[in-house]
Amino acid sequence: MKIATWNVNGIRARIKPLLKWLEQAKPDVVCLQEIKCADAVFPTAALENIGYNVAVHGQKGFNGVAIISRFRLTEINCKLPGDSEDNQSRYIEAMVINPDSPFCVASIYLPNGNPVETVKFTYKLNWMKRLEAHAESLLNSERRIVLAGDFNIIPEHIDCHSPKAWTGDALFHEESRFAFRRLKNLGFRDAFRACDPSEKSYTFWDYQSGAWPKNEGIRIDHLMLSPQAVDQLIHVTIEKYVRGQEQPSDHVPIYAEFL
């Protein structure tokens, strides 16, 4: 079972690279973020034609998340509890019905939060509190759970090329990192760190300032696993090469493989 996450930074601009990568990597489940389109114009047919089931929670021009799966999707939930007035499309959850090993999978596009001195940072922290509360309730089900997506959080100094360059940024702010640690304290494990505790690897390189050729990246795309999922984890792969292909997103796919 191979479960991936990828912030595609616009699904319609990235459909060809996505289809190419799906053919090469053959993931069973992919959580997509920042699709930047309404449900009606999501390329559902193109993905169904190659064997994927699709669940999408889009938003015209902004945000948007989706789950695509070779297995049937049930119990689809497009609302993160805790704020009935929040209309940003940042969360979708579903049960992936693999007969041998069903998983509860969520695709998450966590708020950026910049500038820190604004309501955007308050929204980020409040969103994380809601995520923490919901994640705790999911843990009580004792299912195999994967919270996957663009968390817009650099967890530790090792996860960025230059910690000094990110001082004061919402992605590296101590309150953001503390909220991420609270999620781990519930019992979720960072899949990448569970496999490679000292590896310095990134999932995002900005389009500006030559970040990609200089390898000035950050690791902000994560797969957070419940204990039941960790028990079946084999390895995690960051598909760095995808960043160097044509029409790249500024993020690359990352996937975990399970027994």
| Catalytic residue ranges | 109, 150
Pairing of strands 145-150, 221-225: antiparallel
Sign of CA dihedral 156, 161, 163, 169: negative
- Alpha helices by DSSP H, listed for the chain, are 15-25, 44-48, 119-139, 174-186, 191-195, 227-230
Give the angle 195-142-192 at the CA atoms, nearest 5°: 15
Which has the closest alpha carbon to 108: 60, 146, 68?
146
Residue 91's beta-bridge partner residues? 108
